[in-house]
Every structure is written in C-alpha cells, then in structure tokens.
Amino acid sequence: MRMTVIGTGYVGTVHAACMADIGHQVLGIDIDAERIASLSAGRAPIHEDGLDELLARTVASGRLRFSTSLAEGAAFAGTHFMCVGTPQRPDSKAADLRYVDSVVDGLAPHLRPGTLIVGKSTVPVGTAARLAERLADMTPGTEVAWNPEFLREGSAVEDTMRPERLVVGVTSQHAEAVLRAIYAPMIAAGVPFFCTDPATAELVKVAANSFLATKISFINAMAEVCDAAGADASVLARAIGADSRIGPRFLAPGLGFGGSCFPKDIRAFAARAEEIGAGEAVAFLHEVDRINTRQRQRTVERARRLLGGSFTGRRIAVLGAAFKPGSDDVRDSPALVVAAALHQQGAEVRVHDPEAVDNARAVHPELTYALDVDKACEDADLVLHLTDWPEYQDIDPAALATLVRSPVLLDARNRLDPRSWAAAGWAVHAPGRPRLSPPVPSQAKVAALAGGAS
Ligand SMILES: NC(=O)c1ccc[n+]([C@@H]2O[C@H](COP(=O)([O-])OP(=O)(O)OC[C@H]3O[C@@H](n4cnc5c(N)ncnc54)[C@H](O)[C@@H]3O)[C@@H](O)[C@H]2O)c1
Ligand SMILES: O=c1ccn([C@@H]2O[C@H](COP(=O)(O)OP(=O)(O)O[C@H]3O[C@H](CO)[C@@H](O)[C@H](O)[C@H]3O)[C@@H](O)[C@H]2O)c(=O)[nH]1
C-alpha cells in the first residue's frame, strides 16, 4: 500500500522504515530539509538498534523515499501517518499541538476525497475529533483516525516489527480495513489488534504511560521509605514483583523516569483531564511527577553529603547522559539534569556516555565530556552511575579504584553489583539500599598480619 509518514523523528523514521520493510511504498516527509537529505542518503538521524541497516535496505529497495513537500505527499498516497512532536507547552503543562495542527492545515488544500489521516503522535483526548471537524470545513470526506505508538527508544525497530498490541481508533469500516491491511503481517503473526473509537485510542496511550510512570514512582517512594528505615528497596522490589499481579518490570528503585514521553505525557494528561472535568480522577499524577522530580534532587543532595557537604573543588565522574540506555536521546534526561546541577553548584563534572555525548554537549556545553570511562573517573572524588548502560556492568571496579582519588560510588540506578564493587574497595551507595562498605579484615586476620604471618 502507499502511505506517507509525516514527521521523521524517533517515531516517524522508524515507522516509515518498518512499513517499507514489510512491503509498503512509503514517502517520509519532514519540514527539516537537512534531516530529509540525510534520510534520503540512507542515514538515520538518531541512534536506534538496527535502524541504519533497515534504512539502507529500504531506501535501496526504492520502497522508501523522503521529501519536504506535503503537496507531494497528498498526491502520492491516500493514507497519511502523522508522527510530529507534541511537546509540553512552554507556558503550561498541557500538550503543544501546533505541529499537529500545522500538518493538517498544510495537507488540507491538497487532499483528495476519501483520504485517511492516521495520528500516531501522543495527544490529548478529543484531538482526532477536533481535527476531523477542522478538516470537514476544508476537505469534506477526510477521516481522522488515531493509532497511538507504543515503541520504546532503544528497541524502537523491534517494538514496531513485533508490537505487543496494535490500537486503532476509527470512525468508519473503511479506515479499519485500511489499517488492518497495513498491519496485516503483524496481525497474521498474532499481535492483538484493538479497534475502537478515536477517543479511546488516544486515552489508551496516555493511560499506559501513566500506569508505567506510576509504577516507577511507587517503587521510588518505597525506596525513600527504605532509606529512612534502613531497609533494602531492591529486595522489596524483587519480593513484591514476584507476585504475578504486580510483576517485576518497571519496578527498579533508582533515579526515576525522563525522556520525551513519560514526564510530558502525564502532565498533559492531567491538564486535559482538568479541562474535561476529570481533574480529580488523575490528581495522583501530580504526585507521581513530584516523586519523580524528587529523585533527581535527592541524588544531588546525597552526592553533596558524600563529599562532606560541599561540591567546591570536588571532581565527580558521571556515568551516563542519555535518558535511558540504548538511546542517544537526552530530552529531559535525569542523568543530564543531575550532572548540570552538580556543575552549577560548584563541582567539576566529567560526563561519559557511549552514544549521547554529542546531543548532551549541544544542550550542556558547560560540562566536560570524556571519551571513555577511565578518563571520566581519573582523580574523581565520587563516581555517579546515572544511566544504566549495560557496558557499565562490565567495568572492573578494582582497576577503576586505582584511577580515582576516592573510591566512592553512588549507583543512582541501582544496577551495578554492590558486592563486587565493595569487595574491590569501594564504598557503595544506592537509593533504598543500606550502605555497603569495603570488607573490613577480621580481628584474627589483623592480628595475624600484625604478627607478620601470611
Ligand atoms: N520518542 C518516542 O519514543 C515516542 C514513542 C511513542 C510516541 N511518541 C510520540 O510520537 C510523537 C513524535 O515523537 P518523536 O519523539 O518522534 O518526535 P521528534 O521531535 O523526534 O520528531 C518530530 C518530527 O516532526 C517534524 N515536524 C514538525 N512539524 C512538522 C510539519 N509541519 N511537517 C512535517 N514534519 C514536521 C520535526 O521536524 C521532527 O523531525 C510525539 O507525540 C511523541 O509523544 C514518541
Ligand atoms: O524501572 C524503571 C524503568 C524505566 N525507568 C525510566 O523510565 C524512562 C522511560 O523508559 P522507557 O519506558 O523504557 O522508555 P521510553 O522510550 O520513554 O518509552 C516510554 O514512552 C514511550 C513514548 O510514549 C512509549 O511509547 C513506551 O511504550 C514507553 O515505555 C527512562 O528514563 C527509564 O530510565 C525507570 O526509571 N525505572
């Protein structure tokens, strides 16, 4: 089938390439001419596992092309996926819908009757209906459906090719048939296909993100209680997660969530619920947000305490800048927020990240960036683990201990093995975990050593 994918960011690039890979003819459209030139040459604008190969393959096959022209898009296909950004508004917590509106206004003069616009962006409930009304005046016979996207950065290609479910909100059997045909290979492979109205589809997306964000803030709230009680939140998380009704995923006590989705989506959902008279029902999301923000502040404060109350003249190695491992995205990255706060409060901060340094430098040029972990940690008074890249689990703590000024680790993501770090001489701190110190030799061993015995 022929389709356009409008907005070639994280979602649009991956959606366009995956749709082309399953056999569709796809035209990717963006207002960013540089991005379109790079995509046309088969180069992905973002770091995503498998995306470079997929783009190269689908562009070479001729099934995927790119353009900056909505008019060309309207002439090319009768189905248009809309994947533009819906960031938080600068003046409130609501979603900024200017990009969505501008796509619809830009397409409208060129549309032919019977066109289907399919929103993939995350939007406030009621957006599809509002856009349909707007289009009805300009181009009668155009339908607006919603097909929210659930991919995760870092596994975006895999999530698109093998989603856990597909959700479409439509107002006609025609739209359902078109979307079933587009996703036929996934449906044939057994992926559940939920077909509903647009409002429900829009809400499924923000409800899913709110649930996941709540789960993360819940365990971080428990970690705060564990810190106060001297209990172990990691054991608590594993023990409650063993209950199949709760489940172990998204239950890691740590630095909390960031990125371009959870923070702005829960705020926009709360703002929209307020507008439609259901604000009380989701008032808990404000608390979820507050708990999450507090983890960043708590990490800065804990670092300050570990350094004796002041950052002045102290060197801190920061491991991680991306908002999560597997991605080069630093939008609302907890790691970068903490690193910038430490720098701003007087620490000398050196940041390492396997993929996100260029993006981090563009936002925080004032920070120092290191190309490898050893360089970041040289002469450090404190090592802060802020993004749980798998490669950080391969660090040899004994070797690293010889580089730092003081072997103190604050594992804000609770992912490094505390015992092996402590055994290598590190004082290990983590949210919701009793402190682990380097092993102290037993009295017998001390006496034996003092007596010169081996
Ligand atoms: N990033 C994710 O992991 C993810 C996952 C699921 C859903 N979402 C949602 O999907 C939407 C897109 O997110 P993203 O992260 O891909 O955004 P993004 O900022 O990476 O990409 C948006 C793209 O849209 C382009 N654009 C803006 N206005 C345009 C216009 N008028 N015409 C054509 N192109 C235009 C921009 O130039 C940009 O390339 C958001 O609503 C987001 O909440 C994101
Ligand atoms: O136990 C956990 C799990 C995750 N996180 C953090 O939560 C954030 C989001 O992680 P993740 O959900 O893996 O990444 P995203 O790419 O933001 O994906 C979320 O947001 C997307 C955009 O809406 C949705 O499509 C996805 O389904 C949803 O998982 C990151 O900062 C993670 O570090 C935690 O703090 N603790």
Q: Are residues 23 and 162 in the same domain?
A: yes
**Contact between 65 and 102 (Cβ < 8 Å):** no
Q: Are residues 236 and 157 in the same domain?
A: no
**Which bound ligand lies closest to the C-alpha atom of 414?**
2
> Tokens 């207002």 label which residue?
31
Q: Are residues 399 and 275 in the same domain?
A: no
Q: Are residues 22 and 7 in the same domain?
A: yes
Give 443's pLDDT tier (boundaries 50, 70, 90): low
The per-residue pLDDT for range 75-121, each reduced to its tens digit, is: 999 999 999 999 999 999 999 999 999 999 999 999 998 999 999 99
- Does residue 443 lie within any of the structural domains? no
Query: What's the confidence (pLDDT) of residue 444?
Result: 54
> Ligand 2: distance of its center to the CA of 224 in Å?
21
Averaged over 151-177, what is the pLDDT?
A: 97
For 200, the token pair is 């429900």
Averaged over 203-208, what is the pLDDT?
A: 98
Residue bearing the bigger pLDDT, 79 or 443:
79
Give 442's pLDDT tier (boundaries 50, 70, 90): low
Atom of ligand 1 nearest to the CA of 95: 41
Q: How many angstroms separate the Cα of 128 from the Cα of each of 82, 142, 175? A: 11, 12, 13
Q: Are residues 349 and 421 in the same domain?
A: yes
Ligand 2 binding site (Cβ under 6 Å of any ligand atom): 122, 149-153, 209, 212, 216, 250-252, 254, 256-259, 261-262, 265, 323-324
The per-residue pLDDT for range 365-401, each reduced to its tens digit, is: 999 999 999 999 999 999 999 999 999 999 999 999 9
Q: Are residues 8 and 86 in the same domain?
A: yes
Alpha helices in 41-138 (DSSP H): 51-61, 70-76, 98-107, 127-138
- Does residue 450 lie within any of the structural domains? no
Ligand 1 binding site (Cβ under 6 Å of any ligand atom): 6-12, 29-32, 35, 83-86, 99, 102-103, 106, 121-122, 149, 151, 153, 260-261
Q: Are residues 98 and 129 in the same domain?
A: yes
Ligand 1 pocket: which of 34, 83, 153, 265 to mutate (most atoms <8 Å of CB)? 83
Residue 13 exposure: Cα atoms within 13 Å on the Cβ side: 26
- Does residue 447 lie within any of the structural domains? no
Q: Are residues 131 and 270 in the same domain?
A: no
**Contact between 236 and 226 (Cβ < 8 Å):** yes
Find the CATH number of the domain harbouring 300: 3.40.50.720
**Contact between 340 and 367 (Cβ < 8 Å):** yes
Expressed as residue numbers, the domain containing 75 is 2-196
Q: Are residues 228 and 308 in the same domain?
A: no
Measured CA to CA, the distance from residue 356 to residue 349 in angstroms comes to 16
DSSP 260-292: SSHHHHHHHHHHHHHHTT-GGGGTHHHHHHHHH
Percent of the chain clearing pLDDT 70 (strictly above): 97
Considering its fold, how many domains does the chain have in total? 3
Query: What's the confidence (pLDDT) of residue 233?
Result: 97
**Contact between 257 and 271 (Cβ < 8 Å):** no
Give 137's pLDDT tier (boundaries 50, 70, 90): confident
The per-residue pLDDT for range 125-136, each reduced to its tens digit, is: 999 999 999 999
Give the end of a domain, one of 146, 168, 196. Answer: 196
- For residue 68, the 8-state DSSP code is S
Query: What's the confidence (pLDDT) of residue 445?
Result: 54
- Does residue 115 lie within any of the structural domains? yes
**Helices 284-306 and 262-275: angle between axes, nearest 10 degrees:** 150
Find the CATH number of the domain harbouring 260: 1.10.1040.10
Measured CA to CA, the distance from residue 285 to residue 257 in angstroms comes to 13
Percent of the chain clearing pLDDT 90 (strictly above): 93
Q: Are residues 377 and 407 in the same domain?
A: yes
Q: Are residues 71 and 17 in the same domain?
A: yes
> Ligand 1: distance of its center to the CA of 100 in Å?
9
Give the end of a domain, one of 137, 172, 196. Answer: 196
SS3 409: strand
Query: What's the confidence (pLDDT) of residue 45?
Result: 87
- Whether 441 shows a pLDDT value over 90: the answer reads no
- Does residue 201 lie within any of the structural domains? no
**Which bound ligand lies closest to the C-alpha atom of 256?**
2
Measured CA to CA, the distance from residue 331 to residue 84 in angstroms comes to 16
Measured CA to CA, the distance from residue 330 to residue 283 in angstroms comes to 28
CB atoms within 10 A of CB 200: 15
Burial label, 453 (beta-carbon count in 10 A; 0-12, 13-18, 19+): exposed
Measured CA to CA, the distance from residue 104 to residue 151 in angstroms comes to 24
Give the end of a domain, one of 196, 222, 253. Answer: 196
Ligand 1 pocket: which of 4, 8, 11 to mutate (most atoms <8 Å of CB)? 11
Q: Are residues 257 and 302 in the same domain?
A: no
Considering the entire predicted model, what is its pTM? 0.95
- Whether 54 shows a pLDDT value over 90: the answer reads yes
Strand ranges for 170-222 from DSSP E = 193-196
CA nearest to 86, candidates 118, 120, 132: 120
Residue 76 exposure: Cα atoms within 13 Å on the Cβ side: 26
Task: Give ipTM to 2 decimals.
Answer: 0.99
- Whether 453 shows a pLDDT value over 90: the answer reads no
Query: What's the confidence (pLDDT) of residue 166?
Result: 98
> Ligand 1: distance of its center to the CA of 232 in Å?
40
Averaged over 10-24, what is the pLDDT?
A: 98
**Which bound ligand lies closest to the C-alpha atom of 332?**
2
What residues are labeled active site?
A: 261
